[in-house]
Amino acid sequence: MRLKDKICLVTGGAAGIGKATTLRFVQEGAKVAFCDVNEEAGQALVAELGAAARFDKVNVADRQEVQAWVDGVVAQYGRVDVLINNAGITRDGLFVKVKDGVLVKQMEEAAWDAVIAVNLKGVFNCTQAVAPYMIKQGGGVIVSASSVVGLYGNFGQTNYVATKAGVIGMTKVWARELGKFGIRVNAVAPGFILTEMVQKMPENILADMKAHTPLGRLGDPLDIANAYLWLASDEASFVHGAVISVDGGIVIGT
């Protein structure tokens, strides 16, 4: 019961790593207010969890939706102890594709804008909405999802890598700015995780992912949820401004 009676917000909490986190936090005694754009999945999960959870359909890229969600959670529970910035999307594509010296394709502006809006602006929106409440109450914990690609780069992911590197940068800034208020700020950098989305990938792609992971397997969403849990708990009370890789020792190549 490491999060007993804590009020925890989880973005993208209805599926994948977010769902595993919502379930794990409830197991540890938290009241979890989770949001997602997938209303059907969100309603199904909150029905399963009952009074231990609250679901709101929220697009984290929309500041007004985020503020309404956070205000509503505080109105219901009186405080917010933990924010897990987990929501994220991908829109992969080569930065430029050239054949016989001729440009044939490049990453579309819409793909750049969509990923930046959710993965980077979304983290900014949620953290800025939560921080004043945490300051007023005298502390809290903010954990954001980066990625190993934010540390090492990855082929075909200019937009995604930019956001995940940006999350690391924002984490470092917020650790400096918010620490004096008793707010701990950290990031987790997952490797290849076997979410529902990844499970649908071709077997040869999954085999390649495993080949780049020295532990010889893909991560389970619970592996990341447990990292979030540790960082959210008092066991990590002196961990601040850190980026924790949870990646099976991954070695990224092209």
| Domain 7-246, CATH | 3.40.50.720
| Pairing verdict, β 82-85 and 53-57 | unpaired
201 pLDDT higher than 90:
no
Reported confidence tier of residue 254, pLDDT bands at 50, 70, 90 = very low
Give residue limits of the domains in the chain. Answer: 7-246
Write down the pLDDT at residue 253.
59
Residue 38 contacts residue 89 (beta carbons within 8 Å): no
34 pLDDT higher than 70:
yes
| From 41-45, 213-217, 242-246, the region with the lowest mean pLDDT | 213-217
Find the mean pLDDT for residues 212-234. Answer: 95
Write down the pLDDT at residue 209.
86
pLDDT cut 90: percent of the chain above it: 88
| From 17-26, 130-139, 180-189, 203-212, the region with the lowest mean pLDDT | 203-212
Token couple for 43: 């309603």
Find the mean pLDDT for residues 158-183. Answer: 98
Distance CA 11, CA 18 (A): 7
- The catalytic residues are 160
Based on the number of CB atoms within 10 Å of its own CB, is 207 exposed (0-12), middle (13-18) or buried (19 or more)? exposed
3-class secondary structure for the chain? CCCCCCEEEEECCCCHHHHHHHHHHHHCCCEEEEEECCHHHHHHHHHHHHHHEEEEECCCCCHHHHHHHHHHHHHHHCCCCEEEECCCCCCCECCEEEECCEEEEECCHHHHHHHHHHHHHHHHHHHHHHHHHHHHHCCEEEEEECCHHHHHCCCCEHHHHHHHHHHHHHHHHHHHHHHHHCEEEEEEEECCECCHHHHCCCHHHHHHHHHCCCCCCCECHHHHHHHHHHHHCHHHCCCCCCEEEECCCCCCCC
pLDDT tens for 40-90 read 999 999 999 999 999 999 999 999 999 999 999 999 999 999 999 999 999
pLDDT cut 70: percent of the chain above it: 99
Residue 64 contacts residue 55 (beta carbons within 8 Å): no
pLDDT tens for 88-144 read 999 999 999 999 999 999 999 999 999 999 999 999 999 999 999 999 999 999 999
